A and B are shown apart, each in its own frame.
Chain A
Amino acid sequence: MKKIINDPNQVVQDMIKGLVAAYPNSVKQLPGTTVITGFDVPVDNKVGLVSGGGSGHEPAHAGFVGKGLLDAAVAGEVFTSPTPDQVFEAIKAVDSGSGVFLIIKNYTGDVLNFEMAAELAEAEGIQVEKVVVNDDVAVEDSSFTTGRRGIAGTVFVHKIAGAMAEKGGSLNEVKAVAEKVVNNVRSMGMAISPCTVPAAGNPSFELADDEMEVGMGIHGEPGIERTKITSADEIATELTGKILEDIEINRNDEVAVMVNGLGSTPEMELFILNGKVHDILTEKGINVYKTFVGEYMTSLEMAGCSVTLLKLDEELKELLNAESNGPAFHS
């Protein structure tokens, strides 16, 4: 393992220290916790938004704390959900009396820990609602299983629910629009090289020099198929195709596109992918309203990408355009 770290068991604390030092005027750390909040929380008369999850997905989630976005992000150990006590601290810190909304990626651990935190908060009289994001079309969706994973599409939930809360939406309005995003957002990823969890010390899987894994999760969970690596155009076609098989997006519909790097994929390659994604959508008569290319939801130093499409309506467009300002997201 070759990493720029001090102690593998201290990476989260060390990262938070540096993050807060980088953005001293916009975020702060709740003392004694791994919670990052906006500088001015709780904001009067505003629903508080809390997300979080395992670390190693930077800039998710602390990079999305800010005006028109999240009020707090809870950082767990690398690839491990934060614990209920930490999430509870975040909820208490952002509650202005208007209630708190939790944005949870659909993993058993995240759901369990955030739900327990919500129960603790409700026991103290704080109103809590939640949405569970499950945008990854690589995984079979079934009510009998854990269901689909939450990946990069989560960032659109942060942005749009954040904008709704910022403009004074009630807890129920924030929940409704977050659910609308979840129902209209789909993602699919792939990887060409693995990542190493610092405390584990060795890569979570191996890929030969000429192989790629399609449907790879953001924690190194195996994907749906391993094949010889193909061209960027073919990768874009496969990922976009799987998404369009899963959600009905018709001619003249409008979408937001996110081409997300998983940690060590250069922007050059992400732009190459994005070019083809646009071609495919244009051919189908689907209008691209807004595009996001870059690193939003990474997987340590994994090389690879994910493509996300969000089908838009007037409400979602307005909220997507609303002003926002966090370390990793401005609009």
Chain B
Amino acid sequence: MDIFQVGHALEWMAKTNEKVQDNKEYLTSLDQAIGDGDHGINMARGFEEVMKKINGVAYQHVADVMKDVAMTLMSKVGGAAGPLYGTAFLKLSMTFKGSEVDNASFSKGIEDALNGVKQRGKADVGEKTLVDVWTAVANAFRENKGFGGEVILQAAKSAMEDSKDIKATKGRAAYLGDRSIGHLDPGSVSSFYLFESLAEVINEGA
């Protein structure tokens, strides 16, 4: 894949939606263990609304898709996930605006999204939040020249799995302190679905 096109963006969201719907109970059970047990429900509701919003729209540019995704997640998800994912997609939209989305531009988009999420959530890498997965993916994009589906998938996967051993210092799980260790971070898992979907789109479009 050289250029990430509108069709790819729509496919990315469709795949993410599928994974989130399929794993709604799983995400909620992860959140019941160390949070407040609503992550699966909220993400499923949010992406269902995203699909309603973007289906059948004749988008001219990837940035416009990202903007609609951002605004829908922000107004339909709630919790911490709504503003955080909303901010991430808004940054992608802003970075992509006005030009073709090649690897360099996608890489910068992920970087900007990561910084936006960090700033909004006042979190940094290593605090058992979705920042960990986004950081790993941003690094993978930076080090890889060209879209590399497998590299993105592995980076996201290992960061998601690593979240299990981290003690949470941000987000709802932080209230548990040491008791958060040994549980996967629900936000890292939902971010993994997002990037697993992206990797599939890249691999299929290559």
Chain A residues in contact with chain B, CB under 8 A?
9, 54, 76-86, 107-109, 112-113, 116, 139-140, 144-146, 149, 197, 199-200, 204-205, 217, 219-222
Q: Is the CB of A108 within 8 A of B42?
A: no
Q: Is the CB of A109 within 8 A of B28?
A: no
Q: Is the CB of B74 within 8 A of A200?
A: no
Q: Is the CB of B74 within 8 A of A109?
A: no
- A79 touches which of B37, B121, B171 (Cβ 8 Å): B37
Is B76 in the interface zone, CB < 8 Å from A? yes
Q: Which residues of B contact A222 (CB under 8 A)?
A: 34, 176, 179
Residues of B in contact with A, size category: 20 to 34
Subset of 13 A-B contacts with CB under 8 Å:
A79-B37, A82-B78, A83-B82, A85-B75, A112-B82, A113-B78, A113-B83, A140-B177, A204-B36, A219-B37, A220-B36, A221-B175, A222-B34
Q: Is the CB of B76 within 8 A of A145?
A: no
Interface core residue of B79, B80, B171, B177 (most chain A CB under 10 Å): B79
Chain B residues in contact with chain A, CB under 8 A?
28, 32, 34-38, 41-42, 45, 74-84, 120-121, 169-172, 174-177, 179
Q: Is the CB of A197 within 8 A of B120?
A: no
In the complex, A204→B32 CA distance in Å? 6
Q: Is the CB of B174 within 8 A of A80?
A: no
Q: Is the CB of B83 within 8 A of A112?
A: yes
Q: Is the CB of B32 within 8 A of A108?
A: no
- B37 touches which of A85, A145, A220 (Cβ 8 Å): A220
- A112 touches which of B34, B42, B80, B177 (Cβ 8 Å): B80
Q: Which residues of A contact B79 (CB under 8 A)?
A: 76, 80-81, 109
Q: Is the CB of A108 within 8 A of B172?
A: yes
Q: Is the CB of A139 within 8 A of B32?
A: no
Q: Which residues of A contact B82 (CB under 8 A)?
A: 81, 83-84, 109, 112-113
For residue B86, give the distance in angstroms from its CB to the closest CB of chain A: 8
